[in-house]
Amino acid sequence: MPELPEVETIARALAPGLTGRVVTGIDVPDAKVLAGPATRAAFAAAAVGRMIESVGRRAKLLLIALGPRPHIAGDSPIVLALHLKMTGRFHIAPSADAPPAHARLLVHLGDGNALVFSDMRRFGTARLATPDALAAWKFYASLGPEPWDMTPEAFEAALCRKTTRIKAAILDQTVIAGVGNIYADESFFAARIRPDTPAKDLTPARRRKLLAAIQAVITRAIAAGGSTIRDYRTPDGVEGGFQHQFTVYGKAGEPCPTCGKALISIKVAGRTSTFCPQCQK
């Protein structure tokens, strides 16, 4: 599943081609993508005629802000919230082009192009909501702070009494938003912490070190355009580059880049976790 760096890369790449464009039409080849409004007609009616004001991200959600419709007095702005899930991908293409085989949603624009959302496994979702309705959406409202908004004090308060293993806590999106399996493993190695350590057993100093590691790893991953393991591509069709900087993720059995001891993998919170048994305690 694309994590924070991948969605941030996508948002930054799409923004120049979308901002300022007017939505002129919506095609929904697969209505399963619609999380609300649930019908093609209602979804299109809510979006058409609006100008795209900005493209951003919250946690692993891509957020496209649409302004009020000028022909409707007192109309409210809305947000198109898209969740890529496992295999969601975006690109901008001429509206006249035949959509790709796995296209689920096409947002036609006034410049003759369209934003195309493709999703081979059909888990991704698209939701239109006012800003207030988005804020009240249970999933959205439950999200924890972004990594850069999380203070050491808030991180300490969130973890100091948790009996769950630290990786389970970090993957919990209500604790800190946007961190998934890849960047958790890389952050634990950078902080020299075993992923199966109970969160409450870490000292405050080690928890501060972990937060700093998460922020640094995420920053580096965004600079590299995210990580491509299987399906992820930028809107330009380019693979991310951070997979070439992995220290431990997916490298069980290989030597630790620091001490040379073989990396091992275990299951934590149902996810494979790779670490160095010597460097990470």
- Distance between alpha carbon 153 and the CA centroid of its chain, in Å? 25
Annotated active-site residue in 206, 208, 271, 277: 271
Q: Which of 2, 147, 195, 235 is catalytic?
A: 2
Q: Which of 3, 6, 8, 146 is catalytic?
A: 3
pLDDT of residue 170: 97
**Residue 32 annotated in active site:** no
CATH class as words, domain 152-275: mainly alpha
Q: Give the span between the Cα atoms of 47 and 34, in whole angstroms.
A: 13
Domain range summary for the chain, segments of one domain joined by +: 4-142, 152-275
User: What CATH class does 4-142 carry?
Assistant: alpha beta
Catalytic, 2? Answer yes
Grouping H, G, I as helix, E, B as strand and the rest as coil, residue 25 is strand
Q: What is the DSSP letter of 243?
A: G
Catalytic residue among 60, 104, 165, 167: 60
Quote the strand ranges of the chain, DSSP E.
23-27, 34-36, 52-58, 61-66, 78-83, 88-94, 103-109, 113-119, 125-129, 264-268, 271-275
pLDDT, tens only, 234-279: 788 778 889 999 999 999 999 999 999 999 999 998 999 999 999 9
Q: Is 3 a catalytic residue?
A: yes
Q: Please confirm, yes or no, whether 60 is among the known catalytic residues.
A: yes
What average pLDDT does the structure give for the chain? Answer: 95
Q: Which residues pair with 80 in a beta bridge?
A: 64, 128
Q: For residue range 57-98, what is the model confidence (pLDDT) as tens digits?
A: 999 999 999 999 999 999 999 999 999 998 999 999 999 999
Give bridge partners of residue 79 from the DSSP assignment: 65, 129
Query: Rounded to two decimals, what is the model's pTM?
Result: 0.93
Domains 4-142 and 152-275 share a fold: no
CA–CA gap between residue 84 and residue 14 (Å, rounded)? 14
